[in-house]
Amino acid sequence: MTGDRDEARLKAVVDTAVDGVILIDAQGTVLRFNPACEKLFGFFAAEVVGQNVKMLMPAPFRDEHDAYLTNYHRTGEAKIIGVGREVVGQRKDGSTFPMDLSVGETKDDGESIFVGIIHDLTERKRSEQAVREAVQRLKAVVDTAVDGVILIDARGLVMMFNPACEALFGYSAAEVVGQNVKMLMPPHFRDEHDRYISNYLSTHVPKIIGIGREVLGQRKDGTTFPMDLSVGEAIQDDGPVFVGIIHDLTGRKRTEEQLVQAQKMEAVGQLSGGIAHDFNNLLTVIIGNAETLSEVLKARPDLRRQAEAIIAAGERGAELTQRLLAFSRRQTLIPSQIDCNQLVDKMSRLLRRTLREDIEIATALETGLTPAFADPAQLESAILNLALNAQDAMPGGGCITIATANAVLDEHYQATHPEVLAGDYAMVAVTDDGEGMPPDVVTRVFEPFFTTKEVGKGSGLGLSMVYGFVKQSNGHVAVYSELGLGTTVRIYLPVGGKADSSAVPAGKEELLAPRGQEILLVVEDDDFVRGHAVSVIRSLGYQVIASSDGDDAMKQLQTDTVIDLLFTDIVMPGGINGIELAERAQRLRPELKVLLTSGYALDSLGSRRQLPPGTTVLNKPYRKTELAQRIRDTLDGPPPSSD
């Protein structure tokens, strides 16, 4: 009776078990198949008992099962017996599912009987898959985020460093992960960071955590940049972790500086205009009375000469006030349609007679130039002023190049020059190969009375007049200069009576831009320009490797990485400029295509014989369609010359 009760209890346990319980003999024949097994496999017990257990396995596992049993009986080596492992089961309908199988052995009259406990892993696998997919989605978001995402632990050690952070700081993730985040900060911020973390962990008073603030980051090359840092906290099993979202403020700061400069020029213009207007009234009285005295003093030549000196000084003052009125955009303009090519051709003949004999005048006129809408007399005066300045910058002689071109200032250019109206323009550029100017001078060249000339050699109003005329004409003027490399001043005048911002709709521009899949090495020292170029080129389908200078670019070229085209700025700091880089690159890789870019006029660079024959140069600023077409033309063009 006791045996019957034990068997009944055992049967109850087996039949009510949540997990499947299956008994097989030494030959693999199923002896018992509990209800949980019926539910798992879709077979009734009557369909399985007496059959080989292989019917519950997918085909690839059946031969292995026989081999396992044979090997166990012969050697006693357990590969399944007494070992739990994850396997695959097959249902009656042919579908499969993951399961955890634990097999034990007992003896009945000396014969082995194996007991299998089967736990369905379908839900766990589904949950694990859901977690993996969630992690993959999160990783995709982090990896493709425009802003930098960095994860650090309570000790300040970096746990994650996304691709946007790599682009911002110049480090690869492998160089940063596991290191203290202080390596990304300028020295004077590093001690503060330790105090912030320590204070927050002990008091939970946030000074960075949970708060967005503007800080400085330090790149691998030691340069710094402004960034907005937002830090959040997450609690994990092993303590808090901190998530930093980093937004680069370099572009915004540059735009703010441009806006402040424009506002300053506007304020100075208003002040200058008011002073000039009132001073003209005083000069009218002074000159008028001096003329009266001159007439009365005919009998006194000595006194009359003094009166005439007063008149001459007053007239000189009137010229200065006229220039101030030009700068403040209060002069009277008579705008009309201008053929800038004809005007430049006429001015070049005048300048050859006006300037020193050691100054050469060259022109580069674009055929099919769209007429500008401005005051032709003021444009002539502007070109004359720029030519005189260029002559002063070349005391030992040189070449002045006056070029014309159709130009488009688009929304990307407008982003850093907020005062500019995007649209089509006729461009007139005056380039010299003189001494050039440092950056601090370039930022002030249009300010009234600012001059680098000796006392008595200039009023400081020549370029101010150019600025005022162009702005009053709804145009734009830009200066590009570096010490030792000359200066280019570009005047952009509106066409058709106004700047036409609808010349090429954004959607059509995208359609017009040719695309590709090649790999480009982009070399540009200006972070903002490099970021913009990389973004545009990637949007055209190309793969991009970015370098900030010639030395880094040479390291990339010396690797086994496939590079189809080198796109490099010509003027770069450091030991290797763009032309030298191109020459070295083609010695390393003779088939490499090269496209150069520069803010200087092509004719100026060519006149100084700095460009190899047949070199393609894309002038800045350029539009997306221009860049796309030049890249495609260069890639599809003939291989580089071996000369």
- Nearest CA among 104, 112, 105 for reference residue 26: 112
Q: Is the confidence at residue 266, as pLDDT, over 80?
A: no
The answer to whether the beta carbons of residues 112 and 104 sit under 8 Å apart is no
Instruction: Report pLDDT digits (tens) over 414-473.
Output: 777 777 888 899 999 999 988 888 887 877 777 765 565 554 444 445 677 777 778 878
Q: Which amino acid is at 382?
A: A
Torsion of CA 351, 357, 359, 363, to 10 degrees: 50
Between vectors from CA 531 to CA 528 and to CA 535, what angle results, nearest 5°?
Answer: 140
Alpha-helical segments (H) within 393-526:
411-416, 439-442, 462-472, 506-512
Convert 60-93 to b/e letters by CB count within 10 Å (16 or more is b): ebbeebeebbeebeeeeeeebeeeeeebebbeee
The answer to whether the beta carbons of residues 517 and 139 sit under 8 Å apart is no
Rounded CA gap, 324 and 320, in Å? 6
pLDDT at 405: 92
Report the range out of 228-237, 312-321, 398-407, 499-508 with the highest average pLDDT.
398-407
The mean of the pLDDT values for the chain is 78
Q: Which of 116-130, 219-233, 275-289, 486-500 has the lowest mean pLDDT?
A: 275-289
The answer to whether the beta carbons of residues 21 and 80 sit under 8 Å apart is no
Q: Is the confidence at residue 557, as pLDDT, over 90?
A: yes
Q: If you average pLDDT over residues 306-331, what whole number do you get?
A: 63
The answer to whether the beta carbons of residues 615 and 585 sit under 8 Å apart is no
Instruction: Report pLDDT digits (tens) over 518-535.
Output: 999 999 887 767 887 888
Tell me the CA distances in angstroms from 610 to 454, 570, 581, 631, one per residue in order: 32, 10, 13, 22
Choice between 325 and 471, residue whose per-residue pLDDT is larger: 471
Q: If you average pLDDT over residues 347-374, what whole number do you get?
A: 88
Rounded CA gap, 600 and 579, in Å? 14
pLDDT at 42: 92
Between vectors from CA 581 to CA 577 and to CA 584, what angle results, nearest 5°?
Answer: 140
What is the reported pTM?
0.46
pLDDT at 420: 83
Q: Which of 237-246, 344-353, 602-611 has the lowest mean pLDDT?
A: 602-611
Q: Is the confidence at residue 76, as pLDDT, over 70?
A: no
- Nearest CA among 362, 383, 377, 393 for reference residue 322: 377
